[in-house]
Amino acid sequence: MLILPSIYETEEVVFLLRKLAMAYLIRGNELELAVSVGTVLGEPAAPATHYALELLARKCMMIPTCFPSVGYRNLAADLLLMTPDNELQLVKLCAFCPGCAEELNDLHEKCKLPTVEECMRLAETAQADGNTFESVKYYLLSQEPEKALPIGIDFVKEHIGSSDWSLDTVYPVLDLLSYIRTEKLMLHTCTEARNELLILCGYVGALLAIVRQYRSIVPALYEYTSQLLKRRKVSVPLKIEHLSEELDAWRACTQSINQSSEESPCTPPSESQRTVYATLLKRLKEEPLRGPVGPDYVTGSNLPSHSDTHLSCLTGSKIQGPVFFLEDGKSTISLNDALMWAKVNPFSPLGTGIRLNPF
C-alpha cells in the first residue's frame, strides 16, 4: 500500500532542502548567487541571505583599492542596509573605513550614525559610566580609534583570566575591536596592544573554529596563537602549555568523527582530557557567529594540482584546488582554509595585523 507524505511533511522537507542549498552556496563562497537565490526563496531563507549580504559587504569594505573609493564604500553600506538589525555591522564598516573627518561624517550620515566629533563625546561618556562595549564602539568611530584598544583588550583579558568565562561574553567586544583601521593598528605606539589583540583573536578564533566545525584549521589556530605567545612580548592570561592541553583534549575527544570504519579503533581519551574538553565545551555554550556550520568547500577543491605546486603555510602539505596568497605575496594556504580562517579570525596567519579578504 502506497503511503503518501502529508502536506506538512512535504513542506518540512522543502524547507530543509532550501536551508541546505543556501548553506552549500555560502560555504562554497558563492555569495552573489546565495543572495539571488535567497531573495527568490523569501522569508524561509532570510537569515542565510542576510549573512551572505554581510559577507559581500565585508568583501567590498576590505578590497585594498576600494578606499577612498566612494563606490565600494557606499556599496558595502547599501548591502548592510538591506539587512535587519544592521547597526553593529554599519559600525564595523565605518570603524574600518579610513579618511578625513568630512569623508567619515558623510559615511556616518549614510549609515545613520553620529558624527565623528559626537562619537568622541559619546565614547568618553560611556567610558566614565563603565560601559565597555559602548566606549569601544564610539572610540572606534572617532578620530582616535586607538583609544579603544586598551579598553577592549583589558576587558577581554580580565574575563579570560577568570575560571568561568564564556565565549559569548568576550567575543562581541573582541570582534568589534578587530575592525580598528589598519593604519591605526600599525602605529608604533600600538605595538603591544596589536600583539595582544592578535593573540586573543587567534585563541578565540580557535574556539570559534571548534564551534563551526572547521576541523582543518583548529590545530593551525592553536599553533598560531602559541607561536605569537612565544615570540611577542605580551601580558595575556594564556599559557602555551594550556593551549597544548586544550588542543590534545579536543583531538582525543573528537577523533572518532573523522575516523573511517576500516581504521582500527582509536585510543579513548584520558580522564584529564575529558575534564579539559568538558570545560572547553562549557565555554562554547553559545554560538556568537551566525551562518551555516561545517567546513567551507569551494568549486574546484577536488581538482588535481597543476605544475605550479604550492604548499600550505598552515599544514606544510600540498594544496589541492584553489590557492590563496597571503600579504607577503609568497605564503599560500588553500582558499577553503582562508575562508574559514577569516570567518573566525580576521587577521592574517602571518601575524602582521593585516586582515584577510578571501571572499
In this model, does residue 95 exceed pLDDT 60?
yes
The half-sphere exposure of 226 on its side-chain side, counting CA atoms within 13 A, is 14
**Is the distance from CB of 215 to CB of 344 less than 8 angstroms?**
no
Contacts of 338 (CB under 8 A, 6+ apart): 324, 356, 358
pLDDT of residue 201: 96
AA letter at 317: S
pLDDT of residue 97: 86
- For the segment 98-132, what is each residue's pLDDT rounded down to a tens digit? 888 888 999 999 999 999 999 999 999 999 999 99
What is the CA angle 246-231-199, rounded to 5? 50
Task: Count the Cβ atoms, other than its own, within 10 Å of residue 93.
Answer: 24
Q: What span, in angstroms and rounded, lies between the C-alpha atoms of 175 and 96? A: 12
Q: How confident is the model over 19-44, as pLDDT tens digits?
A: 788 888 999 999 999 999 989 888 88
Which pTM does this prediction carry? 0.89
**Greatest C-alpha distance within the chain:** 77
Q: Read off the pLDDT of residues 270-294 as tens digits, 9 standing for 90 and up.
A: 899 999 999 999 898 765 556 788 8
* Residues near 196 by beta carbon (within 8 Å), at least 6 away in sequence: 153, 157, 234, 235, 236
Span 174-192, average pLDDT:
93
**Cell for 238?**
594564556
